[in-house]
Amino acid sequence: MSNEASEAGRPPAVHVAPDVDTVAAELAAAFIDAARSVVAERPFFVVLPGGKSPMPFFDCLVSNHRDRLPWNRVRFAWSDERWVPAADQDSNFGLARRRLLEPLGLDVRQVACPVATDLETPEVAAVEYERQLRQHWAVAEGRPDWVLLGIGGDGHTASLFPRRRVASDAWVLAVEDSPKPPPRRVTMTWTAFRRSRQLHIVATGTAKASAAREARAAALDLARFPLHGARQCEGEVHWWLDQAAAAEGDGRG
């Protein structure tokens, strides 16, 4: 079994496109296909990443797929959140609200389940977020349908960083020492991500090439490579790379 295969023995699907815009277009088409197969029966539960990587995907959904889905049947949660107000420019929820939810004309109160960063502490918000996710996802056997994760050049994903606390039985954790500012965050864990029916990881640009390669090919080491958690995924795993991020390294890692 290759290093990349999940516990179920299913290797990830690796999609390589020439450029960022083509990655976004193909990822958006896959999202719409997955959502359309569900929304007739129940809401479609999505987990969005933070950072800049999902922006071309958001823009493609708004410009090319506005009429392809009953969008009010989609429910959005976030893989992680910075400990800032929702109106702050660094808020992952705020970014998705500005670039996806509002341009689609959605009632954010109906479709979005953001982390409550106005609570007392990240610890309190983490416990509350897990309670909300368990409540929201109950109609889907407690599993999200479609999770999208980004990757940092150091191999982190969500707010799970190398050689930091990554493994936990909790679905959501507080983070106080993020190497990527701001230091205080709330993050879902692999205990939640692994439950997804489809897990998608997007990596574009040369800065992500080494981390994307290690995440797929290195021997299992969750502490060193947080994305190795994808190998625990109960559902399908898909990598979405442009040529730059898919480039094979010179072997020096």
Q: Which residues bind ligand 6PG (CB under 6 A)?
A: 49-53, 79-80, 82, 92, 150, 152, 156-158, 180
Closer residue to ligand 6PG in complex, CB, 51/229? 51
The least CB distance from residue 79 to ligand 6PG, in Å, is: 6
Closer residue to ligand 6PG in complex, CB, 140/227? 227
Which of 103, 102, 108, 118 is closest to 76 using CA atoms?
A: 108
Distance CA 185, CA 248 (A): 33
Q: What does the chain come to in residues?
A: 253
**Token couple for 122:** 């990240």
Closer residue to ligand 6PG in complex, CB, 157/198? 157
The least CB distance from residue 152 to ligand 6PG, in Å, is: 4
Instruction: Say which residue the tokens 């959502």 belong to.
Output: 35
Name the DSSP class of 18: S
The least CB distance from residue 74 to ligand 6PG, in Å, is: 20
The least CB distance from residue 160 to ligand 6PG, in Å, is: 8
**Token couple for 238:** 């898909």
Closer residue to ligand 6PG in complex, CB, 150/229? 150
Whether 216 contacts 239, CB under 8 Å? yes
Neighbouring residues of 253: CB distance < 8 A, sequence distance ≥ 6: 210, 214
Closer residue to ligand 6PG in complex, CB, 5/167? 167
Closer residue to ligand 6PG in complex, CB, 75/82? 82
Rg over alpha carbons for the chain, rounded to the nearest Å, is: 17
Name the DSSP class of 143: -
Following DSSP, what letter does each residue of 42-57 receive, concatenated?
SPEEEEE--SSTTHHH
The least CB distance from residue 245 to ligand 6PG, in Å, is: 11
The least CB distance from residue 154 to ligand 6PG, in Å, is: 9
The least CB distance from residue 207 to ligand 6PG, in Å, is: 8
Neighbouring residues of 250: CB distance < 8 A, sequence distance ≥ 6: none
Whether 121 contacts 174, CB under 8 Å? yes
Which of 88, 57, 71, 105 is closest to 203 using CA atoms?
A: 57
Closer residue to ligand 6PG in complex, CB, 103/153? 153
